[in-house]
Structure 1
Amino acid sequence: MSNSHRKRRLPPLGALTAFEAAARHQSFSRAAEELHITHGAISRAVAQIEERIGVSLFIRRNRRVYLNVAGQRLLKTATETLDALSQTVEEIHRHDKASPFLVVSCEPSLAMRWLMPRLGDFREQFPDLHIDLRMAGGPIDLLAENCDLAIRRADYGISEDYHITHLCEELSGPVCNQEYWLSHVKEDLSAGSWLHSRTRPEAWNDWLSRVDHEKVVPKNELHFDHFFYALQAAQDKLGLAIGSTPLVADDLINQRLIAPLGIVPTGYHYALVTLDNPNYDPRIKVFSEWLIACLNKK
Structure 2
Amino acid sequence: MARDLPPLAPLVAVEAAARHGSFTKAADSLNLTHGAVSRAVQQAEQALGVALFRRHNRRVSLTPEGRILAGCLDRIFTDLRQTCARLRHPSTLAVSCEPTLTMRWLMPHLPDFSALHPGITVHLATGGGPIDLSLTGVDVAIRRADFGLPGSAVIRPLGAEQVGVVCNPAAWERWGGDLRTAPRLHTRTRPQGWADWSRHSGTPLPPAEAEQVFDHFSFSLQAAVAGLGVAIGPLPLVVDDLAAGVLIAPFGFCPGGADYVALLADDPPPGSPVERFLGWLEQTLPTA
Taking structure 2 as the reference length, the TM-score comes to 0.68
Q: Which residue of 2 aligns with 1:163?
A: 154
Q: Which residue of 1 aligns with 2:194?
A: 204
Aligned-pair CA distance for 1:215: 4.4
> The residue matched to 1:144 in structure 2 has which SS?
helix
Q: CA-to-partner distance for each residue in 1:216-275, whole Å, 9 max, x for gaps?
A: 211111111111111111011010000111211122222221110111111211111100
Q: Which residue of 1 aligns with 2:97?
A: 106
Please, which runs of 5 or more residues in structure 2 have no aligned partner? 8-43, 49-79
**CA RMSD for the aligned pairs?**
3.1
> The residue matched to 1:232 in structure 2 has which SS?
helix
Give the 3 Å change call, closer, same or farther, for CA 96–273 of structure 1 in structure 2.
Answer: farther
How many pairs align? 219
Please tell me whether the aligned partners of residues 278 and 288 of structure 1 are also in contact (alpha carbons under 8 angstroms).
no
Written as runs of structure 1 = structure 2, the 5 A alignment for 1:27-46 is none
Please tell me whether the aligned partners of residues 164 and 271 of structure 1 are also in contact (alpha carbons under 8 angstroms).
yes
Please tell me whether the aligned partners of residues 97 and 281 of structure 1 are also in contact (alpha carbons under 8 angstroms).
no
> The residue matched to 2:170 in structure 1 has which SS?
helix
Aligned AA for 1:131?
V
Query: Does residue 277 of structure 1 match 2:270?
Result: no
> The residue matched to 2:134 in structure 1 has which SS?
coil
Please, which runs of 5 or more residues in structure 1 have no aligned partner? 1-9, 17-40, 46-88
Please tell me whether the aligned partners of residues 176 and 259 of structure 1 are also in contact (alpha carbons under 8 angstroms).
yes
Computing the radius of gyration over CA atoms, which structure comes out larger, 1 or 2? 1
Taking structure 1 as the reference length, the TM-score comes to 0.66
Give the 3 Å change call, closer, same or farther, for CA 171–14 of structure 1 in structure 2.
Answer: same
Q: Which residue of 1 aligns with 2:248?
A: 258
Give the 3 Å change call, closer, same or farther, for CA 120–13 of structure 1 in structure 2.
Answer: farther
Aligned-pair CA distance for 1:124: 2.1
Q: Which residue of 2 aligns with 1:179?
A: 170
Please tell me whether the aligned partners of residues 159 and 287 of structure 2 are also in contact (alpha carbons under 8 angstroms).
no
CA distance in 1, matches of 2:88, 2:219: 37
Aligned AA for 1:109?
T
| Identity %, equivalent residues | 40
Aligned-pair CA distance for 1:133: 0.4
Please tell me whether the aligned partners of residues 97 and 283 of structure 1 are also in contact (alpha carbons under 8 angstroms).
no
Give the 3 Å change call, closer, same or farther, for CA 13–123 of structure 1 in structure 2.
Answer: farther
CA distance in 2, matches of 1:180, 1:221: 15
Q: Which residue of 2 aligns with 1:138?
A: 129
